[in-house]
Amino acid sequence: MLLDYHYDGHMHSWFSDGQASIGAMAQAAIDRGLRRIVITDHMPLPFATEFCVKREHLADYRREVLRVKNLVRDRIDVMLGMEMELPPSCRAWVEQIVRLGWDRLIGSVHFVERHGRPMLVNGTWTDFESGLRQLFDGDVRALVTAYYRQMQTMVRSGLFDVVGHLDVIKKHNPDRCLFDEREAWYRELVLETIDAIAAGNMMVEINLGGLRFDVAETIPNGWILDEIDRRGIPLVLGSDAHRPEQVGTGLAPDLEKRLRWCA
């Protein structure tokens, strides 16, 4: 497993749900000795959210990333990116944003749609529990299956470069309180997804933000990383920082020792 500890490929500014400017995030990366970062604010969506770039601010976002990139070009490489979604009902909207041109696009699943309604899967426990109850009648296996099926559709679209926080569906599953990630049905869904990633020549992010969740582990981790590595799929690191002090957190030479413990 070859990892670049001077690269942080996932962070957010106050254009979406971050708490600092793009310049402040870039300066934090410089202070930590990083050589390349990707600014990846959440893409605009055609329905109300609390954490996405507003569509009318998208041009300003792009200009600001490029302005900062030029300002600090002698100290760090700043890449123009975005964290994308592909909700089933929004493909034309997503493709329009992709066509604007980007250095790197992360494809993630934050919302799972059912009956034409979106459920936020990696927000608060209140969001998760409410959606599980109202849209999936409390059936965790049905929710997890819908999550990975939607991710597989996203991967096969060919629109994105990197798979973001692959198994973030486990965010609210510390100590396997909702489902057992070792069970055959779960492993089968994950392996189908990894095979689609390999076929699509995509990269996979090791999201270090998971270290800040209740599960307290990278996303993905353990056996999933083993399967990704076995297929030769490139891995990149991302802090998923929302504040300057989170930029580059977890990027350390001893990280690999932490990636296997939950296998």
For 111-160, write each residue's pLDDT tens digit. Answer: 998 888 889 999 899 999 999 999 999 999 999 999 999 999 999 999 99
Mean pLDDT of 44-51: 86
| The pLDDT of residue 28 | 97
| Residue ranges in the chain assigned as alpha helix (H) | 22-31, 58-71, 91-98, 125-136, 140-156, 184-199, 222-230, 255-258
109 in Cβ contact with 154 (< 8 Å):
yes
Tokens for 213, please give them. 């969740």
**Distance between CA atoms of 196 and 257, rounded to whole angstroms?**
27
Mean pLDDT of 20-43: 97
Is the model's pLDDT at 261 over the cut of 50? no
Query: Which residue, among 112, 202, 111, has the nearest Cα to 160 in the 3D structure?
Result: 202
- Mean pLDDT in the chain? 93
> Coil, strand or helix: which one is 67?
helix
CB count within 10 Å of CB 57 equals: 15
Among the residue ranges 21-25, 87-91, 235-239, the one predicted with the least confidence is 87-91
Tell me how far apart the terminal alpha carbons of the chain are, to the nearest angstrom. 16
Is the model's pLDDT at 263 over the cut of 80? no
| The pLDDT of residue 72 | 98
C-alpha 51: how far from chain center: 14
Please name each of the domains of the chain with its CATH number. Answer: 7-252 (3.20.20.140)
210 in Cβ contact with 221 (< 8 Å):
yes
Is the model's pLDDT at 262 over the cut of 70? no
Is the model's pLDDT at 260 over the cut of 70? no
Confidence of residue 212 (pLDDT cuts 50, 70, 90): confident
Confidence of residue 257 (pLDDT cuts 50, 70, 90): low
Provide the residue type at 127 as one letter: D
Please give the C-alpha separations between residue 246 and each of 32, 202, 209, in angstroms, as whole numbers. 10, 26, 9
CA angle (93, 70, 61) in 5-degree steps? 25
Which of 116-120, 186-190, 246-250, 256-260 reaches the highest mean pLDDT? 186-190
Is the model's pLDDT at 258 over the cut of 70? no
**Distance between CA atoms of 259 and 121, rounded to whole angstroms?**
23
Is pLDDT larger for residue 237 or for residue 256?
237
| The pLDDT of residue 216 | 81
Query: Which residue, among 84, 79, 175, 168, has the nearest Cα to 128 in the 3D structure?
Result: 168
